[in-house]
Structure 1
Amino acid sequence: MSAKSRRRRHEAADNGAKLPEPLPPEFAILRDIAPPIWEEHSLRLVPGSAIEGFPDFEGWWLRDSSGSAVGLRLDHHEDVSLQEKVRATAEGVESFIQEAGASSGRSNWPPCPAHPRTHPLASRMVDDGVVWCCPETSEQVALVGQLLDS
């Protein structure tokens, strides 16, 4: 492997750890993206104002190697609960990663531990937060933001 390839792989692997600090609670899902996913799709976070045509966007963009991006907003309406913000961000990021993986045949993210070959987990709002659960059995797996800890 050339030095240039090693450098690119190292930079891509580091992207998983370069999250905004402090991480806004509505961005908890970013903690659920394992380093191999960051690397495989060349995911990176870009400040909201860095995308041409969106100078007033308050938040971040999650971009992949194709140049596609999903906006992670911080400027939600005041009447939107934190749970709703977390769920909306989780659904957007989940769809984005699934679409990015579709070309390689790996669109099952995050995989359901009980049924890893048939469907991804689904995010659902519950009393104490937003959880990842099996869409078939409704079994709760982890809070959004704590999937890699479970």
Structure 2
Amino acid sequence: MDAELTAALVPILADLARPGGVLPELRDQAWNDFPGTASAFLYAQDGSGQGISITLGRPPAQQVAELADQVQEWAVEALWTLGRPTNWPFCPRHPHSHPLAAIEVHGRAVWHCPADRVEVAAIGRLPT
């Protein structure tokens, strides 16, 4: 798998491994041939898969935040099929209403509350 894609996935997978998350089966299968990108597939327990990708050469925090958004889409679907809450990662400020959103702020990839725009944690460091 591409080194930049792997590096961007590491903190996201760390967050998925925390309580409330779900881990994918990661497959090094390119699903697009766009120049300057790296891609792979995430698979859920039910066999469903979703492609993920990054644009190569971008700042790492941008890659992580953009990839976290894609992985979050996969996680919501995977959790739904398991009959578990789908607001991953849940917002500790509003735990029953929405998940956190991934953004890049001043060169850092973070999870923040989309309702009040408060930073909750760096991506890869979700509280347990």
Please report the TM-score for the alignment, with normalisation by the length of structure 2.
Answer: 0.75
Structure (1 or 2) with the greater strand fraction: 2
CA contact (8 A) 1:38 1:44 kept: no
**1:24 Cα deviation after fit:** 3.1
Matched, 1:47 2:28: yes
Q: Is the 8 A contact 2:40 2:53 kept in 1?
A: yes
The answer to whether 1:126 aligns with 2:105 is yes
User: Normalized per residue, which structure has more helix?
Assistant: 1
Question: What's the counterpart of residue 96 of structure 1?
Answer: 74
Higher-RCO chain (CA-CA 8 Å, sequence separation at least 6) = 2
Q: 1:128 to 1:65 in 2, by over 3 A?
A: same
On the 8 A contact 1:86/1:130 being kept in 2, the answer is yes
Any conservation in 2 of the 1:123–1:133 contact (CA below 8 Å)? Answer: yes
Q: Which residue in 2 is equivalent to 1:83?
A: 61
Contact map agreement 2:101 2:112 (CA 8 A) in 1:
yes
Q: Which runs of 5+ in 1 are unaligned?
A: 1-20
Q: Distance in 2 between matches of 1:81 and 1:25?
A: 12
Amino acid paired to 1:136: A
Q: Does residue 86 of structure 2 align to residue 107 of structure 1? A: yes
What amino acid is aligned across from residue 132 of structure 1 in structure 2?
W
The one-letter amino acid paired with 1:26 is A
- Asked if residue 38 in structure 1 is aligned to residue 22 in structure 2, the reply is yes
Q: CA deviation at 1:59?
A: 4.5
In structure 1, what is the Cα distance between the partners aligned to 2:32 and 2:99?
34
For 1:133 and 1:35, locate their aligned partners in 2 and report how far apart those are by CA, in whole Å. Answer: 17
Cα displacement (A) at 1:44: 1.5
- C-alpha contact (below 8 Å) 2:32/2:39 kept by paired residues: no
TM-score, structure 1 normalization: 0.65
Q: Does 1:117 align with 2:118?
A: no
Q: Percent sequence identity over matched residues?
A: 31
* 8 Å CA contact 2:62, 2:107 repeated in 1: no
Q: 1:55 to 1:137 in 2, by over 3 A?
A: closer
Q: Which has the larger radius of gyration?
A: 1
Taking the aligned partners of 1:134 and 1:35, their CA distance within structure 2 comes to 18
